[in-house]
Structure 1
């Protein structure tokens, strides 16, 4: 946006990014807004928070997939005897 000549401060950029996030980040956006961090948050701070949230979500997804695979394996192995 800045490259195209648009003058934006960090707060405006942060607000635009937060509005454009998918529903997957809704809780994170609400938490930031509730703490009123939007006025003191830096771009780097926002990106760090979003990356951390995404890593946590990916861990949960991978953990759930592993649990499902183990349950499937256990149920298949239990019926073979």
Structure 2
């Protein structure tokens, strides 16, 4: 039996049709990281099939997993060294 992760089946053997992707962008202002959902067509990943179904912004905001998504993105901007280094090198 496959284990289902919070945001779809991403482990070995996971199939794209069992995944949901929440497209977002990250930017900074003078003090903080900002996270904003975007429509699927505006995502640079819109053509990638392994992500599964990419939600549009309105659908993502209403999705039952949206709190988990924002929890993950909060950790990305505080705990992921590559992300914080990228923004540090680009004027954040």
TM-score range relative to shorter protein: 0.3 to 0.5
Higher strand share: 2
Highest RCO, 1 vs 2 (Cα 8 Å, sep ≥ 6): 1
Q: TM-score, normalised by structure 2?
A: 0.29
